[in-house]
């Protein structure tokens, strides 16, 4: 349970950031014999009365999001362990209750009366299965075949009430009702050569599916239609171990995402105003990725470096319909999104380096990060001030140090860590002041990098009792990873459309403490 948090330096209480979370998990298993086992698990998890501020720093909207699932798994193998298999059956129910309100909405550049209540209930039911057979029939060879089968059903309802109880015309839910089904078969093989110094692997997956638009409340004139799709995706890779501690690798793979029924046949009013229409001619999104890398590992040093390229084409997005204010259509972008970069990871065990004979002292440093050389959106709109890919960080770094000891029978650990988020480009949906905060509404902002430091400590009072303490955002930074208008006096947000706040920030400096009690 959490009340409203406070933003960092220069900010105040962030109204409507409270939440309550409840969850439970139960698992029961039965070993049929030494080679076969069956297991049944059930889970419920939910976040209730969670504040939803959105891009307008909204004081009134709240969510309930609940997930229930049941999983039945069966695993087995032959006596010689050369063949093993698994069967996984699952049933998932997601329920989202959006108790939203937007008393002020954007209408042709001016504020207008909106809703005192906008309740949207969304239910998603999924049933499916995953079957896998893994074989090691040949020396130095691992083969795998499998299948996935799934059906999902999405159903929604929506009811709106105007400001001061004013009557409003009802409109369709945020998501169109739809039913999706797919079946996929895949195979993968890996073979190792030269005393396991070289490994080659390849895999292929064939997917067939269809998505069906179903009758939706207040979606007048809707024609239910089914859109089939199929896709073949693949992966290839190799590793080479020239010496004991070094492994070289290279790989390539493809992927896809089929259009949803909403993207194919949407027709809905946006939360802050505006209307969006689907496109029955959408193509699936597709991507290709390539990576080459090197890994070094020993008892003291660990390091990994990788160069990668990821290209996405036929991206599904929305664009303004020419000649119509606040009206949007789903489209496939004409240009690709191309990202090239480098990933680095490293760690050093200082305790083993300085005191190799001792196992009761912990001291290590670690870091990992990535830097994107190229982040080009070849399909960016011509009126944007940059073609740099949006909502992708130019670089990210995580770093830290761990200390600990098991001396005197009371183990303790201290972890100091920091994360650096590099520059990010974003044409925000926030309503910012023009020209004070941005020259025009279609302006792509370049967010400055920031660093967040955290501290975590734990101490074993007894074998069964552990106490812990943490401080997040040690420097009390006032920040948000995406939004431009953060919570401070000169945020730049046009408060005529904000529905309460002057901007939204993530939590400032936060103290946490807890106990862990074990029963042996």
Instruction: State pLDDT tens for residues 217-269.
Output: 987 766 677 888 889 999 999 999 999 999 999 999 999 998 887 787 766 55
The torsion defined by the Cα of 312, 316, 321 and 326, in degrees rounded to 10, comes to -110
Question: How far apart, in Å, do the first and last CA atoms of the chain sit?
Answer: 28
- Residue 274, pLDDT above cutoff 70: no
pLDDT, position 221: 64
Task: Provide the H-helix boundaries in 356-428.
Answer: none
CA distances from 217 to 35, 69, 175 (A): 51, 27, 11
């098991």: which residue's tokens? 406
pLDDT, position 269: 56
DSSP per residue over 194-249, as a string? TTTTEEEEEEEEEEEEEEEE---TT-TT----EEEEEEEEEEEEEEEEEETTEEEE
Summarize pLDDT for 163-201 with one digit per residue, the tens: 998 888 898 888 889 999 999 999 999 999 998 899 999
């590793």: which residue's tokens? 239
- Residue 270, pLDDT above cutoff 70: no
pLDDT, position 381: 80
User: 245: phi > 0 → left, psi -120 to 50 → alpha, else beta; which?
Assistant: alpha
Summarize pLDDT for 393-441 with one digit per residue, the tens: 999 999 999 999 987 788 999 999 999 999 999 999 999 999 999 999 8
| 115-135/198-213 β-pairing | unpaired
């020993």: which residue's tokens? 298
> pLDDT-based confidence at 275, cuts 50/70/90?
confident
Q: Among 98-102, 215-219, 313-317, which is the least confidently predicted range? A: 215-219
Q: Where are the beta strands (DSSP E) in 378-473?
A: 395-405, 412-421, 424-426, 445-447, 450-460, 465-472
DSSP per residue over 316-368, as a string? EEEEEPTT-TTEEEEEE-SSPEEEEEEEEEEEEEHHHHH-TT-SSEEEEEEEE
Task: List, in order, residues 6 or more apart from 462 with CB less than 8 Å away.
Answer: none
| Residue 499: how many other CB atoms lie within 10 Å | 23
What whole-number distance in Å separates Cα of residue 493 and Cα of residue 11? 14
DSSP per residue over 461-493, as a string? SSSSEEEEEEEESTT-----SS-SS-SSTT--B
- Residue 443, pLDDT above cutoff 80: yes
What whole-number distance in Å separates Cα of residue 223 and Cα of residue 220? 9
113, with CB counted inside 10 A (0-12, 13-18, 19+), is middle
pLDDT, position 319: 82
pLDDT, position 266: 63
Tell me the three state secondary structure of residue 138.
Answer: coil
Summarize pLDDT for 136-165 with one digit per residue, the tens: 989 999 999 999 999 999 999 999 999 998
Q: Among 97-101, 208-212, 336-340, which is the least confidently predicted range? A: 208-212
pLDDT, position 205: 97
Rounded average pLDDT over 484-493: 93
pLDDT, position 202: 97
State the number of CA atoms in the 13 A half-sphere of 16 facing the CB.
22
């Amino acid at each position: 349970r959490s009340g409203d948090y406070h933003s960092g330096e220069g900010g105040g209480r962030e109204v409507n950031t409270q939440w309550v979370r409840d969850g439970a998990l139960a698992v029961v298993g039965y070993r049929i014999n030494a080679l076969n086992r069956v297991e049944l698990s059930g889970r419920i998890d939910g976040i209730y009365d969670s504040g939803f501020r959105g891009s307008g720093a909204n004081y009134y909207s709240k969510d309930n999001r609940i997930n229930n699932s049941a999983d039945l798994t069966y695993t087995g193998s032959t006596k010689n362990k050369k063949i093993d298999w698994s069967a996984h059956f699952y049933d998932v129910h997601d329920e989202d209750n959006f108790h939203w309100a937007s008393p002020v909405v954007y209408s042709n550049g001016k504020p207008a009366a909106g809703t005192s209540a906008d309740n949207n209930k969304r239910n998603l039911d999924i049933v499916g299965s995953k079957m896998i057979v893994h074989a090691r029939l040949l020396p130095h060879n691992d083969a795998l075949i499998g299948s996935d089968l799934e059906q999902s059903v999405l159903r929604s309802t929506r009811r709106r009430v105007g400001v001061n109880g004013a009557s409003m015309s009802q409109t369709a839910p945020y998501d169109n009702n739809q039913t999706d089904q797919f079946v996929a078969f895949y195979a993968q093989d890996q073979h190792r050569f030269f005393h396991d110094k070289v490994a080659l692997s390849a895999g292929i997956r064939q997917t067939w599916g269809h998505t069906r638009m179903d009758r939706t409340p207040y979606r007048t004139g809707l024609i239910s239609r089914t859109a089939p799709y199929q896709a073949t995706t693949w992966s290839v890779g190799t590793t080479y171990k020239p010496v004991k501690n070094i492994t070289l690798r290279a790989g390539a793979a493809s992927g896809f995402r089929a259009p949803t029924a909403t993207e194919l046949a949407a027709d809905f009013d946006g939360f802050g105003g505006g209307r969006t229409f689907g496109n029955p001619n959408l193509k699936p999104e597709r991507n290709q990725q390539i990576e080459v890398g090197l890994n070094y590992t020993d008892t003291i040093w660990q390091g990994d470096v990788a160069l990668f390229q990821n290209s996405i084409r036929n991206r599904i997005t929305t664009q303004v319909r020419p000649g119509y204010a606040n009206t949007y259509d789903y489209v496939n972008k004409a240009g690709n999104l191309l990202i090239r970069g480098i990933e680095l990871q490293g760690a050093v065990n200082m305790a083993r380096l300085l005191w190799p004979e001792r196992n009761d002292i912990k001291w290590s440093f670690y870091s990992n990060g990535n830097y994107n050389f190229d982040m080009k959106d070849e399909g960016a709109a011509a009126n944007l001030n940059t073609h740099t890919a949006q909502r992708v960080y130019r670089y990210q770094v995580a770093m830290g140090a761990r200390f600990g000891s098991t001396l005197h029978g009371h183990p303790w650990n201290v972890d100091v860590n920091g994360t650096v988020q590099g520059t990010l480009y974003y044409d925000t949906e926030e309503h910012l002041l023009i020209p004070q905060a941005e020259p025009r509404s279609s302006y792509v902002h370049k967010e400055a990098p920031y660093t967040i430091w955290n501290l975590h400590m734990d101490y074993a009072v007894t074998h069964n009792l552990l106490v812990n303490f943490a401080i997040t955002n040690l420097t009390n930074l006032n920040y948000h990873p995406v939004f431009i208008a953060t919570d401070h006096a000169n945020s730049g947000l046009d408060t005529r459309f904000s529905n309460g706040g002057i901007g939204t920030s993530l939590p400032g400096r936060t103290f946490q403490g807890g106990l862990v009690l074990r029963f042996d």
